[in-house]
Amino acid sequence: MSRLTIEASTPLCLLQDAGRFGVRHLGVTQGGGLDWRSMSWANWLLGNGLDAPVIEITLGGFCVVAEEDCLLALAGADLGAQLDGQALAPWRSFKLRKGQRLQFNQPLLGARAYLAAPGGFDAPKVLGSSATVVREELGGLDGMGRALAKGAALNYSREAPLLVRELPGEHVPDFKLDAPLDLVLGAQIGEFSGLSLFDAFNSAWTLDSRADRMGIRLLGTALQYQGKPMISEGIPLGAVQVPPDGQPIVLLNDRQTIGGYPRLGALTPLALARLAQCLPGAKVRLKPVVQDVAHREQVEYLRRFVGR
């Protein structure tokens, strides 16, 4: 067994995997890595299953020390990572010698980095997943939903690959990409005023600082819902709800399982991965798409992981 010891952490540094599925009828949300693309590539660099447990580091403030020589992988945001004071770029696997420190300082590009170990970090599965959901006290190193804390040990058991790898440049997501976020239209789309629909898809929205793993509020022109009051219904990942103040909220992995606000629709998985790397204050736009197009783009992206 190999081990890393946490020297510094924040409440935003969590153990995550692909999340929990088949339990929302119990009122349990899915959790899991917000930027599933970066999480998957971090695991791919080590030959892991794409859903192996990793560390999701949000905005920096995280530091580990190696207790033995090890090989790890880093993908996602550039959080100013340093290996014993030397800059370490993401999208590669790398060697960490016994006694060396890996430190994440602050965002330089993007918001969330993903640190992977051979075979994934050891953690108990709760309802089929190790994903940490603090609100529900599920997952994490002890199964109780706690954030990673100073002094905790990160263990993994599989032997490391022999070779260091780097992700080919054509597969590295562009976090500077200024493209609209694709949104699959929802059942209540026809209940918003025509002017609101124009504003929703032709205006820039500002990401509010009021954001967490449950959701991100979008600030802009207030949208007007004209339909009847709704009965609460199931909430999909990426749902864009519009509460009475007219400011949309994009619901993320730790969202509630049901809700009664009308929805414009839901962001696609690829759009959600991009959104997870945006900092508060960033400007985003929404673009309506049909489900068939979103599904085809998702399948095409997942094929990148096959046979490489």
Q: What is the mean pLDDT of residues 95-102?
A: 96
- Judging by DSSP bridges, how do beta strands 92-96 and 82-83 pair with one another? unpaired
Distance CA 139, CA 67 (A): 24
Judged on CB neighbours under 10 Å (0-12, 13-18, 19+), 191 is middle
pLDDT tens readout for residues 1-20: 689 999 999 999 999 999 99
Token digits of residue 86: 């030397």
pLDDT tens readout for residues 255-300: 999 999 999 999 999 999 999 999 999 999 999 999 999 999 999 9
pLDDT of residue 307: 57
CATH number corresponding to 181-305: 2.40.100.10
Q: What are the residues facing 207 on neighbouring strands?
A: 218
pLDDT of residue 237: 96
What is the total residue count of the chain?
308
- Which sequence spans correspond to the domains of the chain? 2-171, 181-305
pLDDT: which is higher, 307 or 99: 99
pLDDT tens readout for residues 204-240: 999 999 899 999 999 999 999 999 999 999 999 999 9
Judged on CB neighbours under 10 Å (0-12, 13-18, 19+), 147 is middle
Distance CA 103, CA 97 (A): 14
Distance CA 43, CA 49 (A): 7
Q: What pLDDT band is residue 177 in, cutting at 50, 70 and 90?
A: confident
Q: What pLDDT band is residue 305 in, cutting at 50, 70 and 90?
A: confident
The three-class DSSP label of residue 145 is coil
Distance CA 212, CA 298 (A): 25
Q: What pLDDT band is residue 121 in, cutting at 50, 70 and 90?
A: very high
pLDDT reading at 163 higher than 90: no
pLDDT reading at 250 higher than 70: yes
Per-residue CA distances from 261 to 73, 242, 258, 277 (Å): 40, 6, 10, 26
pLDDT reading at 308 higher than 80: no
pLDDT tens readout for residues 17-70: 999 999 999 999 999 999 999 999 999 999 999 999 999 999 999 999 999 999
Q: What is the mean pLDDT of residues 80-86?
A: 96
Distance CA 231, CA 252 (A): 21
Distance CA 147, CA 286 (A): 32
Q: What pLDDT band is residue 159 in, cutting at 50, 70 and 90?
A: confident
Token digits of residue 154: 């990160």
Token digits of residue 265: 């629709």
The three-class DSSP label of residue 227 is coil
The model carries a pTM of: 0.96
Distance CA 196, CA 246 (A): 9
What is the residue-averaged pLDDT of the chain? 95
pLDDT: which is higher, 187 or 134: 134
Residue type at 14 in one-letter notation: L
Residue that is written with structure tokens 């508060």 in the block: 280
Half-sphere exposure of 272 (CA within 13 A, CB side): 27
Q: How many CB atoms neighbour CB 92 within 10 A?
A: 16
Q: Provide the percentage of residues in the chain whose pLDDT is more than 90.
A: 93
User: Is 66 in contact with 96 (CB distance < 8 Å)?
Assistant: yes
